[in-house]
Amino acid sequence: MVLGTTSGAGKSWLTTALCRYYSNLGLKVAPFKAQNMSNNARVVEGIDGAWGEIGSAQYFQALAARAVPGVRMNPLLLKPEADTHSQVVLLGQVNAELTALPWRGRSAVVWPQIAAALDELRAENDVVVIEGAGSPAETNLHASDIVNMRVARHAGARCLLVTDIDRGGAFAHLYGTWALLPEDERALIHGFVLNKFRGDASLLAPAPQHLQERTGVPTVATIPMQWHHGLPEEDGVFDMTPTLGTGVSSLPPEGALAARGGPSPLNRPHTTPGAVHTTVAVVAYPRISNLDEFQPLKNVPGLRLQWVRSPADVVGLRPTDWIVLPGSKATAADLAWLRAQGLDQSIAAHARQGGTVLGVCGGLQMLGEALIDPAGIDGNGPGLGLLPLVTVFEPAKTVQRTSAAFGQLTGAWAPLSGVRAEGYEIHHGQTAQHPAMAAKGDVAREVMPGIAWQSPAGNVLGVYLHGLFEDAAVLHALFGAQAPTLDAVFDGLADGVARHFAPGVLDALIA
């Protein structure tokens, strides 16, 4: 099991690397995280043939393990909809009763399903690599814990405790976390891991030895900082440091957010080597979801990926540059935020000059004329009016994998004509042509039945299909580029942990 002293310490990254490392040994491996809080979700195999949702991190960990992703790998998923409220997804399905329960009240209800899922995975696999959440030493959450040490005790897991040494205070974080655990739980900690190290490793002495003398736990790895490891970010917006008061993190606190934090990477756009030919400006509203699907764009030569929060961020965009409205867990609220920033006018101005605009899922809904919410799912409101569509929110949630071919497109989107795309859908809204506008001749071109529409002018495209840029055919059609394969990324991670862990440690953990 991989535990962390803080959020962002590197638990997801290390779990993914270990899944591939043990798989490369010829073992049957599965990942597990009892509870995840994220609006980055993937559609996977559910119970009794139904599709279900799990956190993106466990989806990628399953691929690293060469396993078929399934809902048991992340039995409880919390999808934040407001600062103090989350939609609860149990074994892949939205559960209204659990959503209505208070944070601590859920533990007793969901623990039997969590334990059963873990036990089934343990019975079916040689190795299960478990990821914790936040820190295991949050004493206010310990009594209701269902994701850290309760899981470790249930499985008798051999635990690694990882810390982000780049933040400073790493040895205090490790010692403090260990010291706050009950004695029986301390015994499960088999090694400390220093992650994101920069500098001369010889300068660490004698701290690891002093730490071992106080705890009995050795420091088993010092892993260098890796700026571009190739995995999508699990939480928040990557390549951007949050500004106080903007509320951009995709993970708002509920209760104590299970001691998890938001994003913390560098405050700069990401540009690949070579002359920049296209800027892709992605609007980073407060409840942004599924942002990990844009990771492949970071690897396209000559493309500049930029996160947008204000009109100033889109000044100077050319018509050939893109504005992207990504998915949202609270479409009406994020649309209101977008208007409050004045970004609605900036997007409209870009579209008027023929600029390329893409809306994905919630972003597609925003591009239409209206949001209608008779069941109180998301909220009512006028859309941006860039597509003659209307969206009605329904209690039933569309969750499915999708494969479909684009019809004939025009303008900047013409290269997608006839391209078959693989992806997934997660949405409550159902979108259709606005009937009154159609009567006046203002008709959107439905270029993928029920999934994608193009504006009459051709520069605005809205799609329900997540994962477009993870599809090699789509990426090649739009940019003539190919991103590194996930298998190459996973193997690189596995090679890294093999180099940086002390000899024999990783094998001893499963002996």
- Residue 257 has a pLDDT of 32
The chain-wide mean pLDDT, for the chain, equals: 89
Q: Please count the residues of the chain.
A: 511
CA distances (Å), origin 331, targets 29, 82, 379, 499: 37, 12, 8, 45
Residue 263 has pLDDT above 80, yes or no: no
Inter-axis angle of helices 170-180 and 207-215, to 10 degrees? 0
Contact between 400 and 424 under an 8 Å Cβ cutoff? The reply is: yes
- Residue 101 has a pLDDT of 87
Round to whole Å and give the CA distance between 486 and 229: 11
**What's the whole-number mean pLDDT along residues 146-172?**
96
- Residue 249 has a pLDDT of 32
- Residue 496 has a pLDDT of 92
Rg of the chain over CA atoms, in angstroms?
23
**What's the whole-number mean pLDDT along residues 434-451?**
92
Residue 482: which pLDDT band, with cuts at 50, 70 and 90?
confident
Residue 38: which pLDDT band, with cuts at 50, 70 and 90?
confident
What tokens does 396 get? 């039933």
Lowest mean pLDDT among 155-169, 232-246, 386-400: 232-246
- Residue 84 has a pLDDT of 67
388-431: pLDDT as tens digits: 999 999 999 999 999 999 999 999 999 999 999 999 999 999 99
Lowest mean pLDDT among 82-86, 300-304, 441-445, 499-503: 82-86
- Residue 481 has a pLDDT of 79
Type of residue at 383:
G
- Residue 295 has a pLDDT of 86
325-344: pLDDT as tens digits: 999 999 999 999 999 999 99
Q: How many CB atoms lie within 10 A of CB 311?
A: 15
CA angle, corner 105, sides to 101 and 110, nearest 5? 90
pTM above threshold 0.85: no
**What's the whole-number mean pLDDT along residues 457-461?**
96
Q: Which residue has the tokens 């206010």?
A: 140
What tokens does 486 get? 């996930």
**What's the whole-number mean pLDDT along residues 288-294?**
89
What tokens does 432 get? 């259709």
**What's the whole-number mean pLDDT along residues 124-143?**
95
Dihedral, 76, 77, 80, 85 alpha carbons, nearest 10 = -20
User: Which residues are CB-contacts of 108 (< 8 A; sequence separation ≥ 6)?
Assistant: none
Residue 261 has pLDDT above 60, yes or no: no
Residue 248 has pLDDT above 60, yes or no: no
- Residue 336 has a pLDDT of 96
Percent of the chain with pLDDT over 70: 90
Contact between 284 and 159 under an 8 Å Cβ cutoff? The reply is: no
Closest to 315 (Cα-Cα) out of 295, 342, 275, 296:
342
- Residue 208 has a pLDDT of 96
Residue 355 has pLDDT above 80, yes or no: yes
Contact between 443 and 433 under an 8 Å Cβ cutoff? The reply is: yes
Question: Which of 34-43, 75-84, 225-234, 352-361 holds the top average pLDDT?
Answer: 352-361
Residue 246 has pLDDT above 50, yes or no: no
- The residues annotated with a catalytic role in the active site are 361, 466
